[in-house]
Every structure is written in C-alpha cells, then in structure tokens.
Structure 1
Amino acid sequence: MESEKRATIMITNDDGIDAAGLRALVNVLVSTNLYNIQVCAPDSEKSAVSHSITWRHPVSAKKVEIDGTTAAYAISGTPADCTSLGISNSLFPSLPHLVVSGINMGSNCGYHIVYSGTVAGAREAFLNHIPSISISYDWVKGKSTLHDFTLAAQACLPIISALLVEIKNHRYPHNSFLNVDVPTNVANNKGYKLTKQGKSIVKMGWKQVTSEAEGRKMSSDMTNTTTALPAEFDMSSLLPETLLFAREVRPGGAKLDHDDSDDYKSLQEGYITVTPLAAISHADIDCQNYFKDWLPSVSEPPSSSAL
C-alpha cells in the first residue's frame, strides 16, 4: 500500500542502461525511499541519435535487475523509443508521474540539444503530456570522476522533488519540459540559474581513415577517443575503392554565447542551468519579417535569366 502512495519516476538515458550516470541517478532516488523507480533505457550507448525512432522492425525489451527499482528493462531501440514504450502501458502497469532522462556524460547546451538523445528521451514524454526533465553533467576528461555523477544527482534531487510537488498540486506547466546541465565542478556549483537555449555548438569535422586501427569514435562527452571501429563493422566487406570517414572534434571546443542568460555560458561559469524547452522552435523575429515580405513575391516559376 505504501508504494501505491508514492510518486513514480521513470528513468531513461542515451548512454545505455549500464551507464554510470543512470545508475548514480537511480541510486540517489532509491536512497530517498520516497519514490517508485522504473527504468526503461537503451541496451547500449545511443548517444547523439537525436529524436530518431524505430519504425520498420520491433524492439526487444529485456528485464534487468537494478536494486531498489520496481522494474527495469533494457531496450534495443533509441531513447525516444524507450520513453515511448515506458509510458505506453505496454511495459509498466501504470504511467509515471515524471520521466527523467540522464544523467548524461557531457553537457547538452545550445545547438547540441538538437543532437542529444538524452534531451529526446525527455522530449518524447513531453510530446505525450508526461512531465519530464533531462539531466546532463559537464564531464571533462582528466578532471571528472564517476563519483561526480552521484554529486550531480544529489544536486538535482531538490529540482526533481519540487517538480513532483507541482505535479501533485496540478500546477506544473505542461507546455514545456526542463533541460538541466550540471557544471564540471559540481561540488562547488554556484546554485541553480534559469537560462535559455543558446547558440553554442561543438566544432565537428571528418577525418578520412584507411584501416580499423585508425578508426576514431566520438564519445558521449563530445571528445575524441581513439578506439577500434565497432565489432559489427566488417572491414573485409568493403570494396577497395570505398572511402572511410570518421567524425572528430575540431580544436577550439564550443562556440561561446554572449548573453548572460544563455545555457552554455552560465554552465561554464559554474551554475546548474535550468532551461525550459518545448518541441516547437520559432525563427528569430527578423527572419519572420524577411520572409513575410519575400513570400508574396514568389508567384511564378523563375525564368532562366533569374538563375
């Protein structure tokens, strides 16, 4: 009976069900003894898949034992698939009160939000009128440790708890969901700061590779990691004239925002950024005005002299 009175939180992510960020988040939430925790997450890393969904074939769901959860499943699909299945009443007996996606290894600010599977996990819940929040930790190789995920979860616990109060009291605004980014030095963070999605972007490029030994993989924290190509990638099946290219992060890191309320700049200053998002994006007003004047002139096919 006690469990029936508790709020239910469903956890998903894009780093995979075994990822340290997800496990830390689950452990912190379970330790409160206040919530029913469900997990529905990808069975392997699905970073940067954005809001892609599986359409042409079924996905598999394998039950996984995670201490303290009411049920946990590893799904063969994308983060959006995981959320969709988890809130469908097909996998769990009841709908969650809140979906939390994370904790991601690497920040999700600015234009990177478009690529993020972590954010997509929360956005899918939003599209289905379920309150949601995505959480990312600004992992920096050489500085961050796995314990920082626990600190990040603890730092976000008040936000999660407060959201559930708003949901219970029917005050939660259903026209948005929250994207939270936790700074690298989480132990000395400057507190919460309401921010807006900025225009920061990680500079990415392509590198031609000629062998498995040269294969490079972009890790979930948006850094280059020297690794072999995935095991399922069969080099022997390639024709001699086939060109191979792998993504890489270009020097210079992320393009900085200039507005003090932008998410990336505030995160780098040490704040835990809280950014309301929605699924519909609007062009800047100057673009709207330009095309308002331009569209009436599009009245007939162009002549050859206009091209």
Structure 2
Amino acid sequence: MEEGKNNRGTIMITNDDGIDAPGLRALVKALLDTNLYNLQICAPDSEKSAVSHSITWLHPIAAKKVHIDGTTAYAVSGTPADCTSLGVSKALFPTVADLVISGINMGNNCGYHIVYSGTVAGAREAFFYDIPSISISYDWVKGRSNLNDFTLAAQACLPIISALLVDIKNQRYPQKCFLNIDVPSNVANQKGYMLTKQGKSLIKMGWKQITSETEGRKMLSDMTNAETAAHADVNVSSISPESLLFAREVKGSQLDHDDSSDHKSLQEGYITVTPLAAISQAEVDCQNYFKDWLQNVSESPSSSAL
C-alpha cells in the first residue's frame, strides 16, 4: 500500500483566498477522489487576494500544521509566493512536488489582472524554481455562481492535471512556461479547452473619499464589494485627524476584443489555457522607438527637454 503511494505523483497546492477557501477545498477533494496523487498543501492562513508577487522579507513567517483529510497541510502567515517558495524548499515537506497548483481562485485572472493576482504568483514562484505549475481561477459571478461550481471547475481541470503529470514523468514538459487556466462562470456547459494568450482586459478601479475606516465596504477577491462594512485593518485611533481616507471602487471595464485573448474566449464559454512566463517584454514598436530614442539621448546628453 505504502509503496504504491510512494509511486504516485505529488502535487502541492496553494492559493491566495486562504487555506479555508471553498475553491482550494474543492480542488483538494477532486484530486483526492482520483486516488492518484499525494497532496501537500501550503496556503495562506488568511485571504491574500491581489497581493501580486509580493514576498515577506523583513521578518519570519509562521507555518501551522492543520488537518485536511488525505493531505499534509500547513497554513502560512505569508503571501502566495511565500507559500510556494517554502513548500518547494524541502524546509517544510521532505520531498519537492512534481507539480504546483495555485487555486481555485474566486474570480477570473485574465488580461492585466494577471499582474495583480496572488493566485498566478503562486504558480509563477514555482516556475522560478523550474517546477511545473498551473494557476486555476473560476469566473465567479455574484448572484449567479454557487459553491458547487468550484467542484465542477476542479473536475473540468482534472484531465489537464493528469496529462501534465504524464508529461512531467516522461520529461516532455516544457520548462519555459507555466499555465494560467480560467474556467467560465457557466462551467456546467463549458465548451472545452481553448489555448489563448494574455489579453489587455481590465476592471478599472477608482477611489472615493470616505469619512471613516468602516464606511468603505470590503472588496472581495472577485472584485465586487461585500454587502457588509469592512472591519478596520488599521488602528483607527492612530490615524491623524488631518488624514484623508480613501476606498477603492469599481469604475468600469476595459474589454479586449482580440479573438485569441484569454478574457474574450472565457466569456464565450471556453476553459482558457494560457502559457505564461516571468519576463514581460514590450511590443516590438516600443523596442524600435526607444532604440533610436536612446541613441539620440546618448549623442546629446546635455540637451534639455522641451
């Protein structure tokens, strides 16, 4: 029995919604139900949405062992990138996972939001260590989606996870990318997988001035506002009376109409599969412009701006 267990592929799971999030728990259950994998969990002990690829640098982080049936699990006081880095370091688990999965996030991670995403960062951190990884997000729609959709999303991604582990075992997996997967809101009627590229979609954010810390409603990980007022994350008594308080609010959307973009294909009902890397390169026309521009600057170092 133990020998068979040792021959299984090992998957490490993290996220940015926190270790108790329904998306992570649905993914864990779906993987356990296959009876094919050893599962390690190293996830934040609280919500860390939209922290991007931030890491803890100036102080230690705490890892508390928690009970999740069929797994070895730790709740960590750090960011998603911290969790992945710790989880693959051999300082926490005795073995390094074959595959790291970050998710399932509540809310899609397409377009420019990939930059903000802690979910994507959890997978990107594994990529930095040359460990195959994927981030998974479900396009949660407030008032229409329900918790069972996370189960359906996890089940819909199982063939990709299984195929990746086969390629990893056979040393065919390409090391120059990781995968970002977004599952459509109508997951029960999803149209299948679609290979896409990162687009330029964006939920535009603004600010409004408020008079107290509890006046602004808490923004959820799906970028909608909670119905109840936010609890203060700072000591209100320490805020100077002269200070101005501001809260974020949604101002609108910037859509991407490119047929091959992740967001457009997601809205059409496809499970989007987007290969990503860690290097962000500007468009070719920008490279060409600044090549000549920098040459001119070098030739005229003392010229003043007009």
TM-score > 0.5, shorter chain as reference: yes
Displacement of 1:91 after TM fit?
0.2
Counterpart-to-counterpart distance in 1, 2:97 and 2:202: 33
234-243 or 30-39, which deviates more: 234-243
1:15 matched to which residue of 2? 17
Aligned to 1:277: 276
Please, what is the CA RMSD of the aligned residues?
1.1
Instruction: Pick which of 228-237 and 206-215 moved more.
Output: 228-237
- What's the TM-score once normalised by structure 2's chain length? 0.97
Identity %: 77
Deviation at 1:74, TM superposition (A): 0.2
Aligned to 1:118: 119
In structure 1, runs of 5+ residues without a counterpart are: none
Matched with 1:63 is 65
Letter in 2 for 1:102: G
1:36 aligns with 2:9: no
Aligned letter for 1:110? G
Range moving further from structure 2, 229-238 or 57-66: 229-238
Deviates more, 1:256-265 or 1:137-146: 256-265
SS at match of 1:50: coil
Secondary structure class of the residue paired with 2:16: coil
Q: Would you say the 8 A contact 1:218–1:249 is kept in 2?
A: no
Task: Report the alpha carbon displacement of residue 106 of structure 1 after superposing the two structures with TM.
Answer: 0.2
Q: 2:261, 2:75 → 1: CA distance?
A: 35
Shift of 1:8: 0.1
How many Å apart are 1:207 and its aligned residue?
1.2
Q: Which residue of 2 aligns with 1:236?
A: 237
Report the counterpart of residue 266 of structure 2 in structure 1: 267
- Code of the aligned partner of 1:55: W
User: By how many angstroms is 1:237 displaced?
Assistant: 1.9
Cα deviation digits, residues 188-227 of structure 1 (max 9, x gap): 0000000000011111011111124412222100112244
Q: What are the ranges of 5 or more consecutive residues in structure 2 without an aligned counterpart? A: none
Cα deviation 1:113-145 (Å, max 9, x = unaligned):
000000000000000000000000000000000
Separation in 1, partners of 2:280, 2:236: 41
Structure 1 residues 146-187: Cα deviation after superposition (integer angstroms, max 9, x where no partner):
000000000000000000000011000000000000000000
How many pairs are equivalent? 303
Residue 141 of structure 2 is matched in structure 1 by: 140
Residues of 2 paired with 1:62 and 1:232: CA distance?
23
State the shift of 1:232 in Å.
4.0
1:168-183 matches, within 5 Å, as 168-183=169-184
Q: Partner letter of residue 294 of structure 1?
A: W
In the alignment, which residue of structure 1 is the partner of 2:250?
A: 249
The answer for the alignment partner of 1:2 in structure 2 is 4
| Aligned amino acid, residue 204 of structure 1 | M
Rounded Cα–Cα distance in structure 1 between residues aligned with 2:233 and 2:119:
24
Is the CA contact (8 Å cut-off) linking 2:214 and 2:231 kept in structure 1? no
Paired position in structure 1 for 2:165: 164
Partner of 2:294: 295
Q: Who is 2:216 aligned against?
A: 215
List structure 1 runs of 4+ shifted beyond 6 angstroms: none
Letter in 1 for 2:236: M
C-alpha separation in 2, matches of 1:207 and 1:142 = 25
- Deviation track 1:69-105 (CA, whole Å, cap 9, x = no partner) reads 1x10000000000000000000000000000000000
Inter-partner Cα distance in structure 2 for 1:51 and 1:79: 8
SS at match of 2:229: coil
Supply the distance in 2 between the matched residues of 1:230 and 1:89 (Cα, whole angstroms): 37
CA distance in 1, matches of 2:142, 2:213: 24
CA distance in 1, matches of 2:217, 2:209: 10
Name the stretch that deviates more: 288-297 or 234-243.
234-243
